[in-house]
Structure 1
Amino acid sequence: MENKYISLVRDNIKNLKPYSSARHEFSGHADIFLDANENPNDHHIYNRYPDPLQTRLKRKISAVKGVKEESIFLGNGSDEAIDILFRIFCEPGKDSVISIEPSYGMYRVAADINNVKIKNVSLTPDFELDVDAILAVEEKSDKILWLCSPNNPSGNTLNPQMILELLDKFPGMIVVDEAYIDFSNEVSMKSFVPERQNLIILQTFSKAWGLAGLRIGMAFAQQWIIEIMNAVKPPYNINSYSQDFVLNQLRKIDDVRKEISKIKQERGRVIERLEELDIVEKIYPSEANFLLIKCKDARNVFKSLQEKGVIVRDRSNVPLCEGCLRVTIGTERENEVFLKEMKILDKQ
C-alpha cells in the first residue's frame, strides 16, 4: 500500500540515526551485565536501566486494547507523544497545525515551544466539529490536525463519521486524543488504525486507570509512525517502576472497570442533583469523568467553592465556555460536599 504521508516527515528526522543504548543492542537472558556502566550492586533492580521499548508492558497493552505491539508507543504522559509528533512532522518557523477550539491547551503550548503556527477552528455552539470550516482554513503548510474526543473541556464525544470524513479529505496527519474514552459509551477509533496511515490515537493511564502520578501515555498508529516516534524519544523515557506498576494494574482490569462504572453512575447522580438548582443554567452532555456547567455568576461560584475547600476549574475565559465551570466527578463523599455547597449558593 502506497504511503503518501511519509513525505510529511521532516527531512532531518527521516535521516536521523537514533541513539543506540546498551539495552537496545542486547535482548535475551544473561547473568552478568557489564555493558551499560551501571552500578553493579543490587538496589531492588533499579540499578539497571529499564527496557527502552517497554516490551513486556506493550505485550499486555496489546492484549487488553486489541492493538498490535508494533502499533503502540509509550510516552512520559500523552504530553511527550504530543511534543514528539510536532518534532517529527513540523518544521519550526515554517509548518503549521490546526486545532479545534475549545480543546486541550497543551496542543498550543507544544506548538509554541516548537515554533509552529497553530490555527484554531471553533466548534459549533453544541461543541461539534465543523468539517467545512476546518477544510476551509487548511493550507499546504498544515501538517497535523488535533482533535480531542471526548473533548476537554466540553466532555462530548466528537462525531466519528465527521472524523472519518476528515481522514479522507485532510492532507496531513490527524491526531485523536482519547484521554477520556474509557468513560464514554462510544467506542475508540483505534480500530481504524490498521487501514488509516494518517491516523494517530492518543490514550492514557492518567484518567480511568488512576495512574496520573506515573505519567504513562499511549499512542496507537501504523508501524512506520511508531518506529519514528521510538527513534525520536529519549532512550529510557519510561522508568522501570512505572513499567512494572502499570503492568500489574493491567492485571486488575475488572477492578478498573468497576471504578469506571461507579464514576459514570456518580456522573449521572451529580447531573440529576445539579438540574434541581436555579443557579445552574445548563449542563452540557458529557462522555468524560467531568461536567461542563454553565452557572449564574460563575466566577463568584468558583471563588465561593474555593473558600470552602472545593476546587473546580473556571473555564469562563475559554471560547464557547463563558460562565462555565468544569467539575471533575469525585468520590461519592466528595461529590456530596460539592453538591451541598452548590445548594447553599443556590439559596443565597
Structure 2
Amino acid sequence: MFDLNTIVRPNILALQPYSSARDEYSGKQGIFLDANENPFGELNRYPDPYQSELKDKIALVYSIAPENIFIGNGSDEAIDLCLRIFCEPGKDKALTFTPTYGMYKVSAAINNIELLEIPLNAEFQIDINSAIASLKDPAIKVLFICSPNNPSGNTIEEIETMIKNFKGIVIVDEAYADFTNSSLLEKLGMYPNLVILKTLSKAWGLAAVRLGMAFGSKAIIDLFNKVKPPYNISTLNYKAAIEKLGDIQGFEKAKFLLISERERMAEALTKLPQVVKVYPSQANFLLIEVRNANRIYDYLKQNNIIVRNRNQEIPNCIRITVGTPDENKKLLTILENSTL
C-alpha cells in the first residue's frame, strides 16, 4: 500500500506555507489595499496564485478535475518541486533511464540528490528486469520516465509495470504526448504515486510562455502548491495560455501538419546516403544516425540550419526538430546537395 506521508520530507509536511494577500481574499471586487501594490497601471496587480481560470480551461481540454492540476513555470519547475518535496538532500536518490531529458540530472544535482541512470536498450526501451531490481534500493524516492522520450522520440513501454513495482513517486514526463494517442492521464486515479507532466511548449506552440503542468492526486498537488512561490505564473503568460487553449481547432490543425511533415521528413531522410538510420518517432522531432554527426552538424550550421548534435550521448546521432514545410524542404535540399 502506497503511503504518501512516508515519502514526503518531514520538513515539507511540517511546513507552514506563505500566505499571500490573494490567499486571504480571493474576490475580484473591491478596493484592494492589502498587497502593497501600486494602484496605477494595467499590470499592477499580483496574478491569481492558483491560476483558477487557466486550470478550468486545462480541465476541459484534458478531461480532469482542476484540483488535480498544478501549473508551473515550465515543466522544469514541477521537476524541481518533485525532488524538493520527496527527496532528502544528501540522503535520498532518484532514478531515470538514459538517454533522456537532461533537466532531471541538473535538478537532482542542484538539490544534492544522487541520480541513478539505467541505460535504455537498443530500441530505447526499459530493461524491465534490471529496472525492477534497482528499485529495491530504499533510498530511491523518485523515478523519472520521459515518454515519448527525448531524444529518441519513442513512447516507453512497461511504465505501468514500473509504477506497480515502486513505492515511491513516479514522474511520467509527457511533454510530447500531445503528438500521440498515448497518455496515462486517464489512469491517474488508479495510481496514487503517479505524477504526469505536460507542457504548452511543444504541440501548443507556447515555448516562450514557459508554462508546464503537473497532474496528480489532490494530496500531491496540494504539496506542490504548498512549496511553490506564491506568484509563480505571470499574468501575461496566464492570459496567453488561456487564449491558446481556447483555439482547439488551430491546435489540431498545427499538430496534424507537424505529424505529416515528420513522416515526410523521415521517409526523405532514409533515402540520403549520409543517413544510416531514422529512428521511429512519436514526437515533433527525429533522431537520426548518420555517418559523421560532427561533420553534418557543422555543415548544416554553416548553411544556417541548426540541429542538435547528440553524438556524445548516442554515437553519430543528431536530432532534428520538425519545422515548417519550407524549413524542412531547405534542410533536405542542403543535405541532398552535400558531398558529406
> Which TM class, normalised by the smaller chain length?
over 0.9
* TM-score when normalising by structure 1: 0.96
1:126 CA displacement: 0.5
Q: Which residue of 1 aligns with 2:9?
A: 10
CA contact (8 A) 2:9 2:85 kept: yes
2:329 aligned with 1:336, yes or no? yes
Of 252, 264, 277, the residue aligned with 2:272 is: 277
1:170 CA displacement: 1.3
Q: Which residue of 1 aligns with 2:64?
A: 67
CA distance in 2, matches of 1:108, 1:134: 18
* TM-score when normalising by structure 2: 0.98
Q: Which residue of 2 aligns with 1:224?
A: 219
Of 120, 123, 138, the residue aligned with 1:126 is: 123
What is the letter of the counterpart of residue 163 of structure 1? I
1:3 CA displacement: 4.9
CA distance in 1, matches of 2:159, 2:271: 36
Of 167, 171, 187, the residue aligned with 2:167 is: 171
CA distance in 2, matches of 1:306, 1:187: 34
Q: Which residue of 2 aligns with 1:188?
A: 183
What is the letter of the counterpart of residue 156 of structure 2? L
Question: How is 1:21-60 mapped onto 2 (pairs within 5 angstroms)?
Answer: 21-41=20-40, 43-44=41-42, 46-60=43-57
For residues 4-56 of structure 1, give each alpha carbon's deviation from its aligned partner in whole angstroms, at most 9, with x where no partner exists.
13210000000000000000111223221010000011x22x10000000000
CA distance in 2, matches of 1:116, 1:205: 28
For residues 147-195 of structure 1, give each alpha carbon's deviation from its aligned partner in whole angstroms, at most 9, with x where no partner exists.
0000000000111xx11111111121100000001112x3211111112
For residues 217-272 of structure 1, give each alpha carbon's deviation from its aligned partner in whole angstroms, at most 9, with x where no partner exists.
00000000000000000000001111111101111011011000000000011111
What is the letter of the counterpart of residue 5 of structure 2? I
Secondary structure at the counterpart of residue 337 of structure 2 = helix
For residues 89-110 of structure 1, give each alpha carbon's deviation from its aligned partner in whole angstroms, at most 9, with x where no partner exists.
0000000010000000000000
Q: Which residue of 1 aligns with 2:303?
A: 308
Cα RMSD, aligned residues only: 1.0
CA distance in 2, matches of 1:222, 1:131: 26
CA contact (8 A) 2:126 2:156 kept: yes
For residues 263-295 of structure 1, give each alpha carbon's deviation from its aligned partner in whole angstroms, at most 9, with x where no partner exists.
000001111111111110000000000000000
2:90 aligned with 1:93, yes or no? yes
For residues 199-224 of structure 1, give each alpha carbon's deviation from its aligned partner in whole angstroms, at most 9, with x where no partner exists.
00000000111100010000000000
Q: Which residue of 1 aligns with 2:208?
A: 213
CA distance in 2, matches of 1:153, 1:341: 23
Secondary structure at the counterpart of residue 322 of structure 1 = coil
Of 168, 192, 196, the residue aligned with 1:197 is: 192
CA distance in 2, matches of 1:218, 1:6: 23
Secondary structure at the counterpart of residue 198 of structure 2 = strand
CA distance in 1, matches of 2:304, 2:74: 28
CA distance in 2, matches of 1:149, 1:315: 18
CA contact (8 A) 2:2 2:193 kept: no
CA distance in 1, matches of 2:133, 2:2: 25
Secondary structure at the counterpart of residue 259 of structure 1 = helix
Q: Which residue of 1 aligns with 2:152?
A: 154
Count, aligned residues: 339
Identity of aligned residues (%): 45
Point out where structure 1 has 5 or more consecutive residues left out of the alignment: none
| Structure 1 residue runs of 4 or more that deviate by more than 3 Å after TM superposition | none
Point out where structure 2 has 5 or more consecutive residues left out of the alignment: none
CA distance in 2, matches of 1:250, 1:314: 33
CA distance in 2, matches of 1:297, 1:210: 32
For residues 107-147 of structure 1, give each alpha carbon's deviation from its aligned partner in whole angstroms, at most 9, with x where no partner exists.
00000000000000111100011111112222000001100
CA distance in 2, matches of 1:194, 1:165: 16
